[in-house]
Structure 1
Amino acid sequence: MLEMMRNFFSLTPAIAVAIISHEYSRFITAKRFDAVKPEWGGPGFIRRIDPVGLLMYYFFKFGWSRPFPVNYWKLRKAGYFKGILTAISGSIANFSIGLIAGLVFYLSGLHRYSTFMPEAVNSFPLSYIADVVYWMMVIDLNTALFNLIPIPPLDGANIVTMIVPENQVNWLVKYELYGILTLLVLSLMGIIQLVMWPITQFIQLLARLIA
């Protein structure tokens, strides 16, 4: 029970950072291209929480947030580049934060205090800070990769809508609910984790070598 509470309190700030950075990056990019719909409701953390996506974070260490409305039809007409850049901007932000967190984790010596590392020195509050930074590294890298999967409601599906024929776009939107169920099943089967694990491990190793 104590370990679960410790994980919850160190994991929650990392999830908040991942969601906020992901959605703000998409907002800034879409706004730059004048493609933010008026009913978007703001990029605030509470507004962006998707209950299923949030539970995914706690159980599987990756998930999704509630995206604000982007006018992808307008971006599509303006050319593929703007639409694809808007779709991947959240993952770019998450990848950058995850890599920076990894460098901080190893360069600062925080890894010596993290409870997730072997032979760690348990010293509060350093151990708590180390665990938060560790989760920032893991959660942001996972979020960056996971959201590129081309299954709705993830950003990867928005990339697909930029390049498929127009008559296929409505089909993708129509079956978004099935996309969520598919993601849940693939996660429960461990298939998504199996695909992402070697990539995240390589990036973490790279951060460790650079540090």
Structure 2
Amino acid sequence: MDSVFEVVQTLIAVLVAITFHEFAHGYVSYKLGDPTPKQTGRLSLNPFRHLDFLGTICLMVVHFGWAKPVQVNPNYYKNPKKGMVLVALGGPVMNFFIALFSVFFMGVILKVTGGQVTVGYMGDIIIFVYGLLQMLAIINLSLGIFNLIPIPPLDGSKILGAILPQDKYFKYMRYERFGYLALLLILSFDVLRTPLNMIMSGMYEGVWFIVSFILGV
């Protein structure tokens, strides 16, 4: 039964993380004057508009993955380079906020229960909710961190593109078609799992430290 709960918690966390990540990209672009996300149906909290099959499976299995990129048109921005950085950062920042709120409510549960979550009708519900919040924190931190890697189609490549001189960026983007292959190789051979897990664990512990200080748990 515990494994069933874990699968359900992971699935919910993945859907929430991906949906709000992509919605944030679209919303930031839309607020910067770009109608493309709205026209393509990406200003939506319907997860099925945002899922990339392979990226979702990777996120479920190894907790690192990606979603279907939101189409944007930087020509609508007053400052295209700055706009692209803000749009690219929108998704990961949203994930980090969700992780923060998830850990905060985990702390609230511990505060209210005195850290003694017991089995029983209400206890089972609290245990499930606590586990779900924990998975939300882990998945959102993982998705946010992973997407900052500068490999297409991840957000980090768009941030890098806005920083690089235009001629160097075009040279870099010649390899865009190999992006998915590079991501699969990274995930398949665990090339970055250890450093990514270290970053994720460090951020998780850092958020817990802040929440513990605020709530006194």
TM-score calculated relative to the size of structure 2: 0.82
Structure 2 partner of 1:195: 195
Matched to 1:25, the amino acid is A
- Counting only pairs closer than 5 Å after superposition, residues 21-170 of structure 1 correspond to structure 2 as 21-37=20-36, 39-42=39-42, 43=44, 44-75=46-77, 78-109=79-110, 121-122=118-119, 123-167=123-167, 169=169
Distance 1:90 1:179 in 2: 19
Distance 1:161 1:72 in 2: 12
CA RMSD of aligned residues (A): 2.6
Alignment check: 8 A CA contact 1:148 1:156 kept = yes
Distance 2:162 2:40 in 1: 20
User: How many residues are matched?
Assistant: 203
Summarize the Cα distance change of 1:39–1:171 in structure 2 as closer, same or farther, 3 Å threshold.
farther
Runs (5+) with no aligned partner, structure 1: 113-118
Matched to 2:32, the amino acid is F
Matched to 2:6, the amino acid is N
After TM superposition, give the deviation of residue 59 of structure 1 in Å: 0.9
Summarize the Cα distance change of 1:93–1:158 in structure 2 as closer, same or farther, 3 Å threshold.
same
After TM superposition, give the deviation of residue 47 of structure 1 in Å: 1.3
Alignment check: 8 A CA contact 1:41 1:68 kept = no
Distance 1:103 1:41 in 2: 32
Structure 2 partner of 1:11: 10
Distance 2:2 2:161 in 1: 42
Distance 1:5 1:166 in 2: 49
Identity across aligned pairs (percent)? 24
Matched to 1:104, the amino acid is F
Alignment check: 8 A CA contact 2:109 2:130 kept = no
Runs (5+) with no aligned partner, structure 2: 213-217
After TM superposition, give the deviation of residue 121 of structure 1 in Å: 4.7
After TM superposition, give the deviation of residue 199 of structure 1 in Å: 1.8
